[in-house]
Structure 1
Amino acid sequence: MARIAVIGAGVIGVSSAYLLAKAGHDVTLIDAAAEPGSGASAGNAAQLSWAYGDAMASPGLLRHLPAIALGRDPAFRIRWQLDPDFFLWGLRFLANAPFSRWWSNTRAILELAGESRRELASLLAETGLSFDYRLAGKLHLYPDQHSFAAAQSAVSRKNALGFEQQMLSRAEAQEIEPALAGYQGEIAGAVYTPGDALGDAAGFCRQLTHHIAQHHRVSLLFGRKVAGFSREADRLAAVRFDDREELAVDAAVVAAGAQVRLLAAELPEVRPVRPVRGYSLTVPRTAAAPAISLTDVKRKLAFASIGDRFRVAGLADIERPGAGFDPARFEALRSAGAGVLPHLFDNSVVLMRWSGERPMTPSSRPIIGPSEHLKGVYINTGHGMLGWTLALGSARKMVDLIATQTR
């Protein structure tokens, strides 16, 4: 079997390392951080959205784009950049917004999510890991009758694919989640997805990394930044670092999230990946917190009860890579969350303030495949806001691809 380096120890990288190790490969899991799950996985929305893989570029977002471009939407922000890649990404994003392209992208994402769901069931049965996973169900809350009625088309299409979704009135949604009685936002109706789940992505990364290091041929290399690759002719020979000797390998899986762009000089196919920054706030969970995951469609907020914690996540800021934490944007998130659930976020002890870069392609479909510029390198990135949902399905697709190419 092959010696394979997995670059990146978020949900995508750890999932890839797990399935590669199960397939019998010698795996080295590498990350610049000191522990797994420290990047976008650390504070994500926690939702495993098996039935909600909707691509971001959509007819609805296209109609709303002028307001976003003028800075009138609190949930989205665009920082204009004099960067050819930025403008090319924007043009490709717009090309994916028509309905036919949106549904094609969404359907492909849903199929990948279905594979993830099956892989997660197998993983749980095999490992018994505990990362606050539960089948919580999810309610998408719509603010007015127009937006609620517009959701019917997508619900019908997803039901036809075998996903269970139901259109509910506010009263019906409140019967399922009594905490909505205290919800201060507008709710004209809700889409209920009973099969969606949630879990602590960072906890998943830590526990699964420990499991594979204990039970498989997996080495851990943390606190080391990959500088590039050494090659023999047109094939990968080793992974290079800034501060240690190179690591000889037969193949490498690049799952470095938004940081993958640092390797674009050697892997030009990752140029379509741009960071979309998000924020989250985690507070102690109280008895008044909803048990079911909630998504506020108007405010683009996701709420989840994760064990003894309660989290709100949201915002989508398309800005320069590495822009970092913006206190004003975090306050916008906190204020929006407190505006609809004041008894949970006003004067609560803050357990975690988080901001991170989600790696987004113009189509919202991840890049999963071999590099055309360096044989032996495989790319698994670009999952945007759905990395947690798509992690194991993407890993399975990658492992199967490597198997076919290394026979």
Structure 2
Amino acid sequence: MHIGVIGAGVVGVSSAYLLARAGHSVTLIDAEMAPGRGASAANAGQLSWAYGDAMASPALLRHLPAIVAHRDPAFHVRLRLDADFLRWGLRFLANAPARRWWKNTSAILQLAKESRQEMAMLLAEADLAFDYRVAGKLHLYPDASSLAAARPTVERKRQMGLDQRMLSRAEAEVVEPALRTYQGEIAGAVYTPDDALGDAAAFCRQLTDLMVRRSAVSTAFGRRVVGFEQHAGRLSTIRFADCEPLPVDAAVVTAGPLIRTLTSALPEARAIQPVAGYSLTVPWTQGAPRVSLTDVKRKLAFAAIGDRFRVAGLADIVAPGSGFAPDRFAILRETACAVLPDCFGQAEWALRWSGERPVTPASHPTIAPSRKIRGVYVNAGHGMLGWTLALGSARRLAEMLA
């Protein structure tokens, strides 16, 4: 079967790889001229196998008045009179109660487990250079109450077979000595030794090159998809803005937030909203952390990726295509400089990035056939965990098409 995969970020490239491994002929399509240039370009880099916590949660619900009033610099919500946005917002709030949150989180953790298994198989099979390493991760909690509140979730995850440990600040400093000079409050930490990291953009490039060399996948970069054509009630071709249609037997849409440009053909896209985030990458310097860090209070994620050090954060629920907001990036940079001034204050060069992460109300990706067009499938809505869940969702998609 000839399958067109629309979107060449981590989810699209992973989907193309597993579909080709299953014996399909695959064409990988993207509006950019190379893979990994969208939300995968400079994300947090963390492969959070044990952190699948859904965004809609009781804690976020309690904090919602401060977010809407713009009193929390890490979150920004721009309310708008848009039917899809309002519908998404109501469904998001419906997923915030504790029972729904844990149901969603458990489902995400199971998908992350499958993704981790696929990553191990891929690394055993192929020599890919994307700065992958098992770095471990520390979630830093600012006070005793927030640390205590994390304990029940840690116990639940341990019962699922995940290795998470509650540490004091002194114990966390043994794991990561750079915390001794960390300028933020740390009452304690949750340590996940098996979490990994890597360069998602390099992963996209390397895996795409491998698939093309093996003649398993062809590429169509610089092509913007505008719709689909049907024959006898089933998908027949993918239509582009500026070239001839591509005949296919099936299509998989993994186009992140750009999936919303196809809402006329894909009603599933209406249940996905973009959440913008930002990152800053500087050279890694001696004494900077090597273990991945997440500052729970400031909503910052730090990762040492090869010879680079990156901070990523902020969650801005804004209109699609809002683009880079200098004032929001300034908040990220100022906050990162405040806690790790030696890392970000004197950098000789810096890479600024922003991207839109596609989020469903439950934070669990949509992996399903389209309700409108036979032969079209959706694999989108991974939110902040796209890098973590990419291979697992690709495996489920391949099983679905089989």
Shorter-chain TM band: over 0.9
Q: CA deviation at 1:103?
A: 0.1
Deviates more, 1:9-18 or 1:19-28: 19-28
User: In 2, Cα distance between the equivalents of 1:92 and 1:57?
Assistant: 10
Alpha carbons 1:22, 1:216 under 8 Å: kept:
no
Alpha carbons 1:301, 1:313 under 8 Å: kept:
yes
Which aligned pairs between 1:84-233 and structure 2 lie closer than 5 A? 84-233=83-232
Which aligned pairs between 1:221-370 and structure 2 lie closer than 5 A? 221-370=220-369
User: In 1, Cα distance between the equivalents of 2:376 and 2:309?
Assistant: 39
Q: Residue 64 of structure 1 aligns with which residue? A: 63
Q: CA deviation at 1:287?
A: 1.1
User: In 2, Cα distance between the equivalents of 1:149 and 1:349?
Assistant: 40
User: In 2, Cα distance between the equivalents of 1:350 and 1:394?
Assistant: 36
User: In 2, Cα distance between the equivalents of 1:397 and 1:84?
Assistant: 31
Q: CA deviation at 1:352?
A: 1.1
User: In 2, Cα distance between the equivalents of 1:298 and 1:125?
Assistant: 37
Alpha carbons 1:116, 1:393 under 8 Å: kept:
yes
User: In 2, Cα distance between the equivalents of 1:269 and 1:32?
Assistant: 21
User: In 2, Cα distance between the equivalents of 1:257 and 1:265?
Assistant: 16
Alpha carbons 1:6, 1:28 under 8 Å: kept:
yes
Q: CA deviation at 1:80?
A: 1.0
User: In 1, Cα distance between the equivalents of 2:342 and 2:350?
Assistant: 16
Q: Secondary structure at the match of 1:271?
A: helix
User: In 2, Cα distance between the equivalents of 1:382 and 1:106?
Assistant: 14
Provide, for residues 96-139 of structure 1, a one-character-per-residue CA deviation record: whole Å limited to 9, x for no partner: 00000000000000000000000000000111111000000000
Report how many aligned residue pairs link the two structures.
402
User: In 1, Cα distance between the equivalents of 2:285 and 2:233?
Assistant: 57
Q: Residue 380 of structure 1 aligns with which residue? A: 379
What amino acid is aligned across from residue 215 of structure 2 in structure 1? H
Q: CA deviation at 1:372?
A: 1.3
User: In 2, Cα distance between the equivalents of 1:350 and 1:75?
Assistant: 24
User: In 2, Cα distance between the equivalents of 1:217 and 1:228?
Assistant: 25
- Please report the TM-score for the alignment, with normalisation by the length of structure 2: 0.99
- Please report the TM-score for the alignment, with normalisation by the length of structure 1: 0.98
Q: Identity, % of aligned pairs?
A: 66
The ranges of structure 1 where at least 4 consecutive aligned residues each deviate by more than 2 angstroms after the TM superposition are: none
User: In 2, Cα distance between the equivalents of 1:350 and 1:191?
Assistant: 32
User: In 1, Cα distance between the equivalents of 2:266 and 2:80?
Assistant: 22
Q: Secondary structure at the match of 1:302?
A: strand
Could you tell me which runs of 5 or more consecutive residues in structure 2 were left unpaired when the two chains were aligned.
none
Could you tell me which runs of 5 or more consecutive residues in structure 1 were left unpaired when the two chains were aligned.
none
Q: Give the RMSD, CA atoms, in angstroms.
A: 0.6
User: In 1, Cα distance between the equivalents of 2:105 and 2:13?
Assistant: 25
Alpha carbons 1:281, 1:350 under 8 Å: kept:
no
User: In 2, Cα distance between the equivalents of 1:38 and 1:340?
Assistant: 29
Q: Residue 27 of structure 1 aligns with which residue? A: 26
What amino acid is aligned across from residue 282 of structure 1 in structure 2? T
What amino acid is aligned across from residue 64 of structure 2 in structure 1? L
Q: CA deviation at 1:216?
A: 3.3
User: In 2, Cα distance between the equivalents of 1:323 and 1:308?
Assistant: 31
What amino acid is aligned across from residue 26 of structure 1 in structure 2? S
Q: Secondary structure at the match of 2:20?
A: helix
Q: Secondary structure at the match of 2:271?
A: coil
What amino acid is aligned across from residue 241 of structure 1 in structure 2? F
User: In 1, Cα distance between the equivalents of 2:280 and 2:46?
Assistant: 15
Alpha carbons 1:11, 1:205 under 8 Å: kept:
yes
User: In 2, Cα distance between the equivalents of 1:200 and 1:228?
Assistant: 31
Q: Secondary structure at the match of 1:396?
A: helix
User: In 2, Cα distance between the equivalents of 1:263 and 1:349?
Assistant: 42
User: In 2, Cα distance between the equivalents of 1:22 and 1:331?
Assistant: 43
Q: Residue 401 of structure 1 aligns with which residue? A: 400
Q: Residue 46 of structure 1 aligns with which residue? A: 45
Q: CA deviation at 1:82?
A: 1.3
What amino acid is aligned across from residue 386 of structure 1 in structure 2? L
Q: CA deviation at 1:234?
A: 2.2
